[in-house]
Chains A and B, each alone.
Chain A
Amino acid sequence: KAGVTQTPRYLIKTRGQQVTLSCSPISGHRSVSWYQQTPGQGLQFLFEYFSETQRNKGNFPGRFSGRQFSNSRSEMNVSTLELGDSALYLCASYEGGGRVDTQYFGPGTRLTVL
């Protein structure tokens, strides 16, 4: 099976712009979780989607949003970018059917805000 894919792999934006990141889960997986990774805060949970519904959201401002499509692909959007949004954004996919299962991570999108 192909792994989790994320596009783009690298992005450079300036403050005030917005950005959209994409995540394609492993075939058959219905859930996608998003994380932000920074040197200071480590890996922090952003939100989770299952069958096009957001089931959980972390402690991030409303500038961070996401959605999931019927094919389980997910996007996250960050509006009005700030310097502190520079980070590695990781998505993870899993089956999401309720049983214990493993989250598998994509390669990440490295976002740099200038």
Chain B
Amino acid sequence: EDKVVQSPLSLVVHEGDTVTLNCSYEVTNFRSLLWYKQEKKAPTFLFMLTSSGIEKKSGRLSSILDKKELFSILNITATQTGDSAVYLCAVEARAGGTSYGKLTFGQGTILTVHP
């Protein structure tokens, strides 16, 4: 069965700090890994990673995937109070059979950024 484990489960930092969120996974026939941000409502898409070693960046956020070691990290630099949210990591297996449309999520990391 596919499995995703995120760490830490919660993190409290001050504005301006840099944080690293971790996601390790086990999935048969890996297709992609996705990061989402959830603030009391729908998860909003951050990144999709399919290739190992290629960093995706968006402003202060960046993410990279290591397919050999089966993990990904999400970095947030110069954190702001608006970054406070739950960050979810999910994996998708190659389409087919019991994999169609199914994202397997980790427990999430609760990030709290204090002013």
Contacts of B108 in A (CB 8 A): 42
Number of B residues whose C-beta is below 8 Å from A?
26
Task: Please tell me if the beta carbons of A98 and B95 are within 8 angstroms of each other in the complex.
Answer: yes
Task: Please tell me if the beta carbons of A33 and B43 are within 8 angstroms of each other in the complex.
Answer: no
User: How many of chain A's residues touch chain B, expressed as a range?
Assistant: 20 to 34
How many interface contacts (CB-CB < 8 Å) are there between A and B?
65
**B98 → A minimal CB distance (Å):** 6
Task: Please tell me if the beta carbons of A42 and B101 are within 8 angstroms of each other in the complex.
Answer: no
A45-B104, A48-B100, A108-B42 known; A102+B34 contact, CB < 8 A: yes
Contacts of A90 in B (CB 8 A): 42-43
- Which residues of A are in contact with B by a Cβ distance under 8 Å? 4, 31-33, 35, 42-45, 47-50, 55-56, 58, 90, 92, 94, 96, 98, 100, 102-108
